[in-house]
Structure 1
Amino acid sequence: MRGTTIYPKGATGKLSHISTQTDVIGQVTSLYCNSVMASNTKLLVAAIDFGTTYSGWAFSFKHEYDSDPTKISGKYYYGGPLASMKAPTTVLIQPDGTTFDSFGYEAEDKYIELASKGEHANWFYFRRFKMMLHEKIGLTRVIKLEDETQKQLSAKTVFSLAIRYLKDEMLKTSRDRLTREQLREDEISWVLTVPAIWNDPAKQFMREAAVEAGIKNENLHIALEPETASIFCRLLPVEQMVEGSDIKCFQAGSKYMVLDAGGGTVDITVHEVMSEGKLKELHKASGGAWGGTQVDEAYKQFIISLVGNPVFQRFCKESKEDQVDIFRDFEIKKRGIAPDKDADVTIRLPTTLKDIFEDETGEDLRKVIKQARYASVVTLVGDKLRVKASVMKSFFSNAIHSITSHMKELLNDNRVRGISSILMVGGFSESKMLYHAIKSSFPNIRVIVPRDAGLVVLQGAVVFGHSPSSIAQRVCKYTYGLHTYLPFDEKIHDIQKRKVFDGVPYCDEVFHKHVEMGQSVSLNQITKPISYTPMEESDNSIGINIYASSKKSPMYVTENGCVKLGVVEVCILDRSVPLKDRNVLVTMEFGGTEIKVTAIEEKTGKSTIVEVSFLG
């Protein structure tokens, strides 16, 4: 669209012109580059992988990274026979709703203890709550979470308390490694991972929760989970790849798909290795809620089908210890389920569940199972439930079908032609069921699984913190633009959007495009500056409404697929100059993991990086 545009009614400024000044773009690029360079000089990089099912932290000092980028430190958590550098994403908060008590296995065990004494009712117990942010429409800062007993608490409080715990644990461990007394906050660069398919409000929510947890905003980087995994795997020697190892898949010019299968979400991206060793994204991140929790949910529904929902709900309410144990036991069992294993699987069925069943129904559970639809594949002997392998394998069906179907769609896209490998990362990628399903679905593509696939996102986040420019190009997930006015043209504009200002007709609600969905943008790539001027002498700021669209070229911000992301408030730095000269050049940067906006006052050259507010 051409012609003079002004800013929409309700905002405090008008859009004057689009500038092609290379000096402005250079100034903004310098601002961002200086920010990146500052992060590279930190003494230590610490990463927090906040997952749906498991979370953890890791770190490395700069001298360690310089000598061996894969030398990364963390902590092991233990829950019975389970041991990992990540603990269950479970938080226990005291009855006042603000005081943190415990996290992970400790939170589970403490809640069980409280429940055994009948003292748990007023405590807040949250688990697997991260999925609340997935594809959340209208996400706000005041949104609430429901705990296990439907009590509500601020989601920001729950997230920030959990992040604070992980942060403090990392600080204690890293400081123990120092010869001097203190590690200053300004010596640490923090990285927080999020799914690549998350929207901008969800990313901002996590950033604000981390800041509330005590991490300085200027020291915090948001990293995309499949990207950090890809970065780390490129550093691993061949012998640390469990399956399909071949160093050629990471050579310059090679293209590979990254399948990040976690507990809640599955993220899929496609990377090409550039000549200088950096990565280029070939297709926008996509995926869905097809992670390992779908398998857990299928198992839960299986148990409910045996005993009935009223019995199961009473069991969960009255026997917290057995409830936790039954799913910890399944977590171990499901890791050993494989397509080539046909032996029965034995699961401990708590006697409390049988007792509640008989109390509720007056029937014998063993006899009922013999008469039920699972009679030929399930047997109850004492407190042991013997289940045919075919039933256990069926729990994976929905998740695997969703993943493989989506991957087939992606591989038919011309933009990703020539892929030679699939890199499987994330905790769910350690499942033999998923691995063999991918192998059989794509027999002509090499499938690679690194050792400890569930940890490479966390470890890669540390590497990303040391070298945030590792991803050189990304693909825009949406079309981004601003709400503007254009001079009304009756040949192309909707008459209902016609408005008159000072006798001149304008078209309201026009979508002024900055970048297009599917467009490849380089790291620190800056859009052409657009000049804004305040409407009135008394105005001390300019409001810019940012929109995203799932269409490539929307005409209006009111079209289906268009969503208002947030507002940027640009402060007028110098109000002493005449109104007509009080122009502010605004540029936007989309090549990173978050949208950045910079405002430069034309008259004085003063500049500031402006926060985009995506949350209500």
Structure 2
Amino acid sequence: MSKSNDYRVVIGIDFGTTYSGFAYAHKKNPSDITVHIDWQEYTGRFKTPTALSYDVEYQNVQSWGFPALAKRPKRKKESERKPVELFKLHLGKMKDKPALPEGFDYKKAITDYFRELGKVIKKSIAEKWDINFFTQTLIVLTIPAEFDDKAMTIMRECVYSAGLLKDRYSRNLKFTTEPEAAAVHCMKSLIEHNLPIGASFMVVDCGGGTVDLTTRQLLDGERLSEITVRNGDYCGGSYVDQEFLRFLERRVGSNAIKLVKENHYGQLQFMVQEFVRMVKMKFTGDPSGFEDTDLELDEMCPILKQYCRGDYLSHMEDVDWNVKLRFKDVRAMFDPIIDKILRLIHEQLRMNKNCSALILVGGFSESKYLQSRIKKEFSSKVKLISIPPQPVTSIIKGAVQYGLREEVVFSRVLKWTYGTDITRRWRQGDPLNRRRPDDRIVVFEKLAERGKQMPVDAKVTRTFHPFHRQQVKMGLDLFVTTQENTKFCDEPSSKLLGKFSVDLPPNGDRSVLYEMVFGAVEIEVNARNSNREFDPQRYDLDL
């Protein structure tokens, strides 16, 4: 297994819900960060769509990125294959995940996408430096704040299967959260704004699918400390696009939009992108500067005529397939999404009332209406509200900067409570149904608590003793929970991270020292008896 400190080049990858990109820099020239902008025939773009087009059996990738999505539609009636997209959302905990082709595994899409992206990454690195990609590069992969350890494990497996790692558990892949990467990138600009050491600031990462928030504190030596639990939700810019489609459903019928999406997705996608270009990115929320926009649906999506029926068809023929977007219509598409973002910011401010600055990053943060709503809501509560130049690149660049100087992150706030299962004597008040024949009960023993600020590489230790002389093994399974008062390891809020045990000697010191080391993103667990121990166990975790 290669060591991450052998690397020469750091590659930051922002695997987004709707768009993805990467950047890189050499350790000898860390300030020279290159953001890749040459995406097949599309140049000058910081990111490419997170989309794949497959063959009929959904086995082989035909195209990816920009070519996988539609160009201007032609007037034809044959069906078009729908690209596979939004598959990143299957890693999260949202209830209504986007539909994928029947029998298609989202992990295949993630692996295939990283394989195609990896080809571009390897080619870009090879053109600049003569290095061994597998041993001399460090990949820093950004993830949403709400991803848990399972999502990270799947991501690592997919990156390995895609051929970007030589070893499944290689230290040449590290994770950081998207808002943390943005915080690292924005730190210097905040210092330039005279934010003093000790001041706290919030990063609001508004992407295409998710919005993630974290609050950090500036420390000496250009370092950061996390001071609140991260939060986020599914309320990124793509949800405005979904509201636009709901608006169209009220004009042409939900069934018509459904059938176009299933059979002619390219035309639907083109229509959405025209809305983004003509309306979404220009909308400021100021009615005085807004002009009604006419959408010629027979030009933007000609196949709609084939599926529109009944009163919807009669009405559309009466208006010659012209739909007018008025100010109130567009604002109604934005407001439900922005209202969610405002609530998330309020939640962060309740956890830290002394926030000195608020930084907006991510593609959706370029929305003038979103910016104005946030400034109106929070300018009296937060001194500085800032949008850095090219906010869409903040996360990619921050990932590279983090990889070049991991010590920039001094501490994180635990998102989970960690514990193990221990056996103790049954007490009055304990559940009778959990009382064992030997008058004992198995309970959750807290080791580290959610919301606690934990310095990087900090250790938590605990000594455990066997409960009877005949015991030859001690089980030390690791559990996590989001609840404050978890009593038992099998509660719905608890989940098992790892099972392992330590052999106990027959005589002498039979106690076991249990140690958790909270690394940057991984946790290393050690347990040892004075005579015996098990190999250290490492877990990729959303701390």
Q: TM-score range by the shorter chain?
A: 0.7 to 0.9
Deviation at 1:563, TM superposition (A): 1.7
Deviations 1:97-146 (A, max 9, x none): 44333221122259999x986574xxx83111211222269xxxxxx984
Distance 1:356 1:520 in 2: 55
Q: For residue 349 of structure 2, what is the aligned residue in structure 1?
A: 411
Deviations 1:184-214 (A, max 9, x none): 4111111111111222222222122212222
Residue type at the aligned position of 1:128: L
Distance 2:306 2:122 in 1: 51
**CA 1:344/1:109 → structure 2, altered by over 3 Å: closer, same or farther?**
closer
Deviations 1:512-564 (A, max 9, x none): 0011121111101111144587999998x97543322233232223446x321
Q: Is the contact made by 2:213 and 2:348 (CA closer than 8 Å) also made in structure 1?
A: no
Alignment of 1:167-206 (within 5 A): 167-178=118-129, 180=130, 183-206=132-155
Q: For residue 372 of structure 2, what is the aligned residue in structure 1?
A: 436
Q: Is the contact made by 1:568 and 1:611 (CA closer than 8 Å) also made in structure 2?
A: no
Q: For residue 106 of structure 2, what is the aligned residue in structure 1?
A: 155
Structure 2 residue 173 is the aligned partner of structure 1 residue 220: yes
Distance 2:120 2:507 in 1: 53
Q: For residue 376 of structure 1, what is the aligned residue in structure 2?
A: none
Alignment of 1:234-273 (within 5 A): 234-236=187-189, 247-249=193-195, 251-273=196-218
Q: Is the contact made by 2:271 and 2:301 (CA closer than 8 Å) also made in structure 1?
A: no
Match of 1:349 among 279, 286, 297: 297
Distance 1:286 1:229 in 2: 15
Deviation at 1:592, TM superposition (A): 2.9
Structure 2 residue 428 is the aligned partner of structure 1 residue 514: no
Residue type at the aligned position of 1:129: F
Structure 2 residue 219 is the aligned partner of structure 1 residue 274: yes
Deviations 1:282-322 (A, max 9, x none): 11001211111221110110111110012112223343332
Q: For residue 76 of structure 1, what is the aligned residue in structure 2?
A: 38
Deviation at 1:583, TM superposition (A): 6.9
**CA 1:177/1:356 → structure 2, altered by over 3 Å: closer, same or farther?**
closer
Structure 2 residue 81 is the aligned partner of structure 1 residue 133: no
Residue type at the aligned position of 2:285: P
Match of 1:609 among 522, 525, 536: 536
Task: Tell me the TM-score normalized by structure 2.
Answer: 0.87
Deviation at 1:462, TM superposition (A): 0.9
Deviations 1:354-411 (A, max 9, x none): 66447642568584597xxxxxxxxx5x665431122112211111111112322332
Deviation at 1:96, TM superposition (A): 4.5
Q: For residue 458 of structure 2, what is the aligned residue in structure 1?
A: 525
**CA 1:532/1:198 → structure 2, altered by over 3 Å: closer, same or farther?**
farther
Deviation at 1:482, TM superposition (A): 1.2
Deviation at 1:567, TM superposition (A): 1.9
Q: For residue 11 of structure 2, what is the aligned residue in structure 1?
A: 46
Alignment of 1:440-459 (within 5 A): 440-444=376-380, 445=382, 446-459=384-397
Match of 2:411 among 451, 473, 476: 473
Q: For residue 498 of structure 1, what is the aligned residue in structure 2?
A: 435
Residue type at the aligned position of 1:125: P
Q: For residue 496 of structure 2, what is the aligned residue in structure 1?
A: 565
Task: Tell me the TM-score normalized by structure 1.
Answer: 0.77
Residue type at the aligned position of 1:564: K
**CA 1:532/1:590 → structure 2, altered by over 3 Å: closer, same or farther?**
farther
**CA 1:151/1:507 → structure 2, altered by over 3 Å: closer, same or farther?**
same
Q: Is the contact made by 1:135 and 1:199 (CA closer than 8 Å) also made in structure 2?
A: no
Structure 2 residue 504 is the aligned partner of structure 1 residue 546: no
Q: Is the contact made by 1:298 and 1:395 (CA closer than 8 Å) also made in structure 2?
A: yes
Determine which structure has greater relative contact order: mean sequence separation of CA pairs < 8 Å that are 6+ residues apart, divided by chain length: 1
Residue type at the aligned position of 1:498: R
Residue type at the aligned position of 1:203: M
Q: Is the contact made by 1:145 and 1:152 (CA closer than 8 Å) also made in structure 2?
A: no
**CA 1:537/1:76 → structure 2, altered by over 3 Å: closer, same or farther?**
farther
**CA 1:526/1:95 → structure 2, altered by over 3 Å: closer, same or farther?**
farther
Distance 2:203 2:159 in 1: 27
**CA 1:189/1:495 → structure 2, altered by over 3 Å: closer, same or farther?**
same
Alignment of 1:28-67 (within 5 A): 38-65=3-30
Q: Is the contact made by 1:90 and 1:126 (CA closer than 8 Å) also made in structure 2?
A: yes
Deviation at 1:586, TM superposition (A): 3.3
Distance 1:469 1:83 in 2: 33
Distance 1:369 1:579 in 2: 90
Distance 2:40 2:332 in 1: 29
Q: Is the contact made by 1:590 and 1:596 (CA closer than 8 Å) also made in structure 2?
A: yes
Distance 2:298 2:112 in 1: 33
Structure 2 residue 523 is the aligned partner of structure 1 residue 595: yes
Residue type at the aligned position of 1:93: Y
Deviations 1:200-241 (A, max 9, x none): 222222122212222233211011100000101123599xxx
**CA 1:154/1:270 → structure 2, altered by over 3 Å: closer, same or farther?**
same
Alignment of 1:284-433 (within 5 A): 284-333=229-278, 334-340=280-286, 341-351=289-299, 353=301, 356-357=304-305, 360-361=308-309, 365=313, 367-368=315-316, 385-413=323-351, 416-433=352-369
Q: Is the contact made by 1:191 and 1:220 (CA closer than 8 Å) also made in structure 2?
A: yes
Deviation at 1:598, TM superposition (A): 3.0
Q: CA RMSD in A?
A: 3.5
Q: Secondary structure at the match of 1:481?
A: strand
Q: For residue 462 of structure 1, what is the aligned residue in structure 2?
A: 400
**CA 1:405/1:184 → structure 2, altered by over 3 Å: closer, same or farther?**
closer
**CA 1:153/1:117 → structure 2, altered by over 3 Å: closer, same or farther?**
same
**CA 1:395/1:588 → structure 2, altered by over 3 Å: closer, same or farther?**
same
Structure 2 residue 191 is the aligned partner of structure 1 residue 230: no
Q: Is the contact made by 1:58 and 1:75 (CA closer than 8 Å) also made in structure 2?
A: no
Deviation at 1:347, TM superposition (A): 3.4
Q: Is the contact made by 1:526 and 1:589 (CA closer than 8 Å) also made in structure 2?
A: yes
What is the aligned length?
Answer: 530
Mean CA deviation greater in 304-313 or 550-559:
550-559
Deviation at 1:83, TM superposition (A): 5.1
Distance 1:359 1:399 in 2: 29
Alignment of 1:95-114 (within 5 A): 95-109=56-70
Deviations 1:224-279 (A, max 9, x none): 100000101123599xxxxxxx6223x41111111111111111111110123211
Q: For residue 90 of structure 1, what is the aligned residue in structure 2?
A: 51
**CA 1:506/1:570 → structure 2, altered by over 3 Å: closer, same or farther?**
closer
Q: Secondary structure at the match of 2:345?
A: helix
